[in-house]
Structure 1
Amino acid sequence: MEHATVDAPAGAGPLSDGRVPCGAGCGSLLELTEEARRGQRRLAAIARAASSVADAASLSITLDVVASEVVQAEHIAAVQILRVEGGTMRVIGKAGFTGADDFADRLDECRRRGARLMFVEAYTTGRRIIVEHRKAAVLADPTWAPLHEIMGAPGWDAFAAVPLVVRGRPVGVLNAFYEPGESPSTTALEFLEAMADQAATAVDSADLLARSRRDAQLAERARLARELHDSIVQQVFSMRMQAKALRAQVEPGRTSSPDRIRAVADELLDLAQSALADLRGMVMQLHPVELVERGLAGAVRDHAESVQGTSGLRVDVEAQDMSGLSTELQEDLYRIVQEALHNVVKHAGASRVSILLCEDGPPDDRQVLLQVGDDGSGLSDPRPRPDALGLVSMRERAQRWGGRMEIGNDESGCRVTVCVPARGGLR
């Protein structure tokens, strides 16, 4: 622990208990103490922001948290976090501003009028920019008129813009509007840069997740294309050949035995039935009919019986009626069950799986709880790869409804837990 020592003013002697009488030095001590407290607030803000970035399901929510942490840790009236996509900037995180939903449109109008956008310069140069008394200049400039009301609301004076940089390239900018009488110090700017790094990490993570989703969709399309080619297309081709053979058997002037015609017709029928079964299986993958006919609980039980019959696993299902949920939410939960069971069969080496599907919580905050647990070997890595396509798909389906998905080992094996607000998926 660091200790500060303060010299007594000239002519002052120590008190009887050894303390130094308070004078001008106490002001310095108070300043040191306040700076130490501010440093602690900065460190705590960085830690909370990092935690939010790691756990976030929504980029805008994450960056609102980052912006709020900056405002609370510093003498800052407002913060904006902007992202650049396709040559346009949009606000994706803010704190301290009100009525700024159309900020981007107003900003674009200011740009067309010729306003000098300091944060654009910070973005393009990749260097932070600090401007003293920026508010007065903005409010006095007619090119900023579309934003005078918004920019004039919070009490601020100085302005700082720090670029968000990911792997050497800027992806956005963090704007800080300092309270009157405050000027960003070196340590304050270092703090802003640290928070900008957290925001940049959140943006980068969101981009990687979106890319993983696209990759998962492409992989699923490729898989369906392979199945169509390897199964149905080949069978239809064989049906065509058999149909030609059958037609040849009944050409005028040709003598064919009924047994020969029947054999070709039977083979054609078998091919048609096989192709139809494969098509139904693919349709089931795209949209399970059981959800419409039997509801989520019934569809889960049917799928569990199918997995049990083909894999030898014992699959126990405890499922409540979920008919009050929308078909879309039921399908997402069903797909999560499918993927979880697929992972158990493929990786776990388990002998038993349990599925729990129920609603929980108070009436005004009901949650749909889905758990799939097995008695297998568990995860070799307690933190599975975040880019694994199956896990990305499961997590995405939960997050679509404002829910969350967790996966980890317990005392018996591995457990997948999904919790989704029921109100978001009501019919």
Structure 2
Amino acid sequence: MKNRLSSIRYIFIHSHLSGLVMTTVSLLAVFLSIYVIVEPEWLSALSIFLFIGAYLVIGLIIALYTGFTASGNLKSRLDSLSVLITQFANGNYQSSVHFEEKDEVTRIGNELNELGKKLMDQVKSLQRMADEKAELAKSAHKSAVIEERQRLARDLHDAVSQQLFALTMMSEAAVKQLETNPAVSKEQMTEVASMALQAQTEMRALLLHLRPVHLSGDPLHKGIRKLVEELQVRSTIDFQVEVEENLVLTETTEEHVFRIIQEALSNILRHADATVVHLNIRNLRKELFVHIRDDGKGFDMTEDSRKKTSYGLRTMRERSEELGGTFRVRSKQGEGTYIDIRIPC
């Protein structure tokens, strides 16, 4: 209620009512002064108060009507400016407003239109730079392959290798306990099965990174469906995919988006413990919209648990921003993770 009373429409009405009150008080003071000083026969106290009362009632109606109608156009124009700013915040820089009036609001609208054009030019520059960067990346493919192999080797050593070593030790201990203490042996074998499943999940995620960075000539929707079909066979996760087939994107944009999705699915396999993953890619108001969500365990955005996926999230954010897009992630422990990406087309 307080916010409504502070809107532009109610400010207009309040100003009209303030003018009415000031005019009424001034008229009442003038008539009473004439009545007291001159005492004309045609002017009486009753006629003064009747006139003031009628003036106040009629003025109140007129003030409410004119205040409400006069503010309607201004409120509509300010709402248009607010929507335009929201569009800019979401990365839709092609939006614009046009007003017929020649006043300050129109001037602000024109300045925002110019700002949108400049932001769009910057996005195009970023995308050109991304294209140039892609060409440079192809020429430096060998060094990138070496770096990726080194990172995978570190991951294998830090995760799978240590898990396999622990599996070996626990298996040997379980075998020794099998005859003397079957209950302890059974408990240890249960832990071995759990660790083997975790190691298998880690290996699937690492194998996902061994896929080609490029789409090998396939359009984006085909490359993503092939990737998901492969993961569907190798995991128990239910992938629900919706990808528009008529997307018109540059080769660099397709490769970046494909790599972002690849990184996101890898994070889900390794950390989320999810059963269902939703992937939606569509053209939304002249921008590419990518939505990824899972029903996994999520993580606390403000705590150290975020560090487990910080590398992957940082990589996805950098790739999105290289294309002039926006990257947003939301997660909460026990409620899964949501990723929204918007890239101007």
Scaled by the length of structure 1, what TM-score is found? 0.32
Scaled by the length of structure 2, what TM-score is found? 0.39
Q: Which has the higher contact order (CA 8 A, sep 6+)?
A: 2
Specify which structure has the higher proportion of helix.
2
